[in-house]
């Protein structure tokens, strides 16, 4: 099975918004990423619109050929936007205003009743729903109970650890990916992935998709977005 690469373009918008105006354009980045081998584009419309804006989502839906994966908090506002645009996929993420990035996975187990409404509404609109969760048996079991077709494992902890602790975290991700597949759920992974740490995650045979943003956009400053995405694609393909 080919491992898909979703390129997260949020931080192109971060740079744009640092000055206002419209440069650099995340839609242009999405088109370039597609040419360089991305299989999908991921964008997180945060409640505070700190990077991606509503207009970016309008334009991504209208101007790109690749499937859009909309990352969203489980709120009525975001649900309304998702249902209006009907992107290919929606990934439900926890969101805290004060955090710099999505710091941990959803508590799918503790928030069953709240999340069930969003999973059902998105699913009924034919939007592929994914839950961004920590790689734990408890969270996979909760995703099964919610009927989510996809989970995305938060790889932030894996990315920040090293040595034996990292190896243990990788084992947790691999075990949870196998458990997800056993229960009919497609496992994805993402957060904090780089050229240096992507290969072991990409080598987990059940993982169907990686969503990668910050590192690719940062690396693009030095080598260009095309080279940055191509290199990630090569590493991922070589790992399978
Ligand atoms: N997947 C999800 C659900 C995320 O929230 C993020 C960060 O926005 C990513 C993947 C990408 O993480 P990074 O920018 O660290 O590559």
pLDDT at 145 over 90: yes
| Range of the structural domain that residue 93 is part of | 4-239
pLDDT at 9 over 90: yes
Provide the annotated binding site for 3-amino-2-oxopropyl phosphate.
Answer: 8, 19, 192, 213-214
Q: How many domains, the chain?
A: 1
Q: Which residues contact 197 (CB under 8 A, 6 or more apart)?
A: 158, 159
* Stretch (H or E) spanning 189: strand 186-190
Structure tokens, 38: 């991305």
- Confidence at residue 66, expressed as pLDDT on a 0 to 100 scale: 97
Burial class (CB in 10 A: 0-12, 13-18, 19+), 131: buried
Helix (H, G, I), strand (E, B) or coil at 96: coil
* CATH code for the domain of 51: 3.20.20.70
Tens of pLDDT, residue by residue over 97-138, are 667 777 789 999 999 999 999 999 999 999 999 999 999 999
Helix (H, G, I), strand (E, B) or coil at 80: helix
Pocket test for ligand 1, best of 214, 215, 220 (most atoms within 8 A of CB): 214
Q: Tally Cβ neighbours within 10 Å of residue 76.
A: 10
Q: What is the pTM of this model?
A: 0.97
Tens of pLDDT, residue by residue over 147-189, are 999 999 999 999 999 999 999 999 999 999 999 999 999 999 9
């Amino acid at each position: 099975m080919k491992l898909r690469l979703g390129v997260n373009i949020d931080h192109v918008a971060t740079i744009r918004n640092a000055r206002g105006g419209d440069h650099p354009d995340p839609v242009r980045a999405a088109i370039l990423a597609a040419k360089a081998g991305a299989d999908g584009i991921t964008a997180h419309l945060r409640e505070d619109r700190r990077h991606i804006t509503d207009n970016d989502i309008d334009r991504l839906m209208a101007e790109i050929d690749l499937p859009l994966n909309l990352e969203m908090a489980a709120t009525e506002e975001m649900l309304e936007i998702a249902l209006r645009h009907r992107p290919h996929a929606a990934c439900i993420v926890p969101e805290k205003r004060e955090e710099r990035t999505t710091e941990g996975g959803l508590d799918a187990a503790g928030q069953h009743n709240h999340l069930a409404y969003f999973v059902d509404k998105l699913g009924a609109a034919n939007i592929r729903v994914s839950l961004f969760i920590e790689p734990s048996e408890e969270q996979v079991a909760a995703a099964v109970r919610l009927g989510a077709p996809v989970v995305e494992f938060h790889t932030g902890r894996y990315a920040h650890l090293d040595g034996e602790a990292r190896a243990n975290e990788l084992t947790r991700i691999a075990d949870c990916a196998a458990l997800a597949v056993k229960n009919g759920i497609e496992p994805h992974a993402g957060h904090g992935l780089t050229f240096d740490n992507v290969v072991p995650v990409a080598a987990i045979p059940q993982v169907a998709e990686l969503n990668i943003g910050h590192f690719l956009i940062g690396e693009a400053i030095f080598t260009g977005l095309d080279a940055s995405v191509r290199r990630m694609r090569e590493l991922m393909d070589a790992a399978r």
